[in-house]
């Protein structure tokens, strides 16, 4: 069974304090891994897609990386507006082509 585990469940950082969020996954084969940001009371917003080990993607203060077993979302010098829940999802090669399996997310709070 495909599984996605995100850690930590919650993270509190001070403004400027860099850190990383982890997404470990177990799939028989990976078609793609996705990162989303979700603000309270809103739908998830797409951030990145990663396809193969060693790949990296960047957007402002966020950088996502991928290995064969996990992905990291690095947040450099975060600001309060980066506070949100970050979701990871995998698209396995096997099974129904369109389905994603989501983790339960990391709640990030950045304080002044």
Contact residues for another protein, defined by CB under 8 A: 31-32, 34, 36, 41-46, 49, 51, 87, 89, 91, 96-100, 102-105
Q: How far is the CB of 32 from another protein (least distance, A)?
A: 6
Taking a C-beta distance cutoff of 8 angstroms, is the pair 72, 84 a contact? no
Nearer to another protein, 5 or 18 (CB): 5
- What radius of gyration do the chain's Cα atoms show? 14
What phi, psi does 44 have (nearest 5°)? -60, 145
Nearer to another protein, 34 or 72 (CB): 34
Q: What share of the chain is helix, strand, coil (3-state, %, to 5)?
A: 5, 60, 40
Q: How far is the CB of 72 from another protein (least distance, A)?
A: 19
Q: How far is the CB of 42 from another protein (least distance, A)?
A: 6
Nearer to another protein, 44 or 78 (CB): 44
Signed CA dihedral, 37, 5, 102, 57: sign only: positive
């Amino acid at each position: 069974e495909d599984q996605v585990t995100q850690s930590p469940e919650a993270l509190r950082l001070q403004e400027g304090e860099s850190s990383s969020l982890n997404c470990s996954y177990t799939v028989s084969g990976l078609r793609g891994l996705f990162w989303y940001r979700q603000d309270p009371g809103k739908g998830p917003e797409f951030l990145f897609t990663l396809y193969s080990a060693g790949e990296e993607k960047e957007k402002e203060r966020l950088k996502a990386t991928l290995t064969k077993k996990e992905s990291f979302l690095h947040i450099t010098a975060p600001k309060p507006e980066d506070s949100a829940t970050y979701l990871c999802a995998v698209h396995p090669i096997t099974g129904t082509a369109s389905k994603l399996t989501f983790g339960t997310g990391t709640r990030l709070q950045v304080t002044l």
